[in-house]
Amino acid sequence: DQQVKQNSPSLSVQEGRISILNCDYTNSMFDYFLWYKKYPAEGPTFLISISSIKDKNEDGRFTVFLNKSAKHLSLHIVPSQPGDSAVYFCAASDGGATNKLIFGTGTLLAVQP
Amino acid sequence: DAGITQSPRHKVTETGTPVTLRCHQTENHRYMYWYRQDPGHGLRLIHYSYGVKDTDKGEVSDGYSVSRSKTEDFLLTLESATSSQTSVYFCAISDYLLNQPQHFGDGTRLSIL
């Protein structure tokens, strides 16, 4: 039973345009959400997070939106750059003391020059 | 970058042999985690540790054991490797505060023939 779902395995966008990556979750106990970026042969790198008490968090070109009623979060990248081409994972935590995360299956983003 | 070193980075071994992967951190973080990454599954938690000698099972713990005798080292052991354990293994660490991101090592690619 997949508690965190990324239904788009891949996404292709033009350089300079907006990239929107989506993530859905089923567990209403999740209260902290994260996005990671992963290049081939490297470990995932933390990108941005959001607590359930917020509906938006912004860091430079990256913005995460959280819709708790729909159990949906999205990552917006504006403007997209070729260096953003990577696999993006969303992850969720129920706020437990051990900071355990449940990951989605990832979306491969390709930014075309 | 977080000070996390995984060793070895690559390993090829035969079915039935024991294998130990090492994760070493220099951040003095309390929590350490082992994940495996497989196509179509994202990252799945194998075991985690919340302190020296304190460990617990994750989502896919069958066939794996762990040990943590020092804050900085977390070992993952496959007692008798099987071909289904061919995967990329990632170690992660996080601080003891709630809602902290995990930071990952660069992974170990393990092939079991």
DSSP 8-state assignment for residue B48: E
**Least confident segment among A33-37, A55-59, A99-103, B23-27:** A99-103
pLDDT in tens, A47-95: 999 999 999 999 999 999 999 999 999 999 999 999 999 999 999 998 7
Helix (H, G, I), strand (E, B) or coil at B37: strand
CB B42 to CB A49 under 8 A?
Answer: no
DSSP 8-state assignment for residue B13: E
List phi, psi (to 5°) of A82.
Answer: -55, -35
pLDDT in tens, B39-92: 888 999 999 999 999 999 999 999 999 999 999 999 999 999 999 999 999 999
Q: Residue A65's CB: how many other CB atoms inside 10 A?
A: 17
Chain B positions touching A106 (Cβ under 8 A) are 42
Residue of A nearest to B32 (CA): A98
CB B104 to CB A44 under 8 A?
Answer: yes
Cβ pair B46, B37 in contact under 8 A: no
DSSP 8-state assignment for residue B38: E
What DSSP assignment string belongs to B75-108? EEEESS--GGG-EEEEEEEE-SSSS---EE---E
Asked if the model's pLDDT at residue B33 lies above 70, the reply is: yes
According to DSSP, the residues that pair with A59 across neighbouring strands are A62
Query: Within an 8 Å CB–CB cutoff, is residue A40 touching chain B?
Result: no
Give the distance from residue B18's alpha carbon to the nearest chain A alpha carbon, in angstroms. Answer: 24
Higher-confidence position of B73 and B1: B73
Largest CA distance in chain B: 41
Chain A positions touching B41 (Cβ under 8 A) are 105
SS (H, E, C) A50-74: EECCCCEEEECCEEEEEECCCCEEE
What DSSP assignment string belongs to A73-112? EEEEESS--GGG-EEEEEEEE---TT---EE---EEEEEE
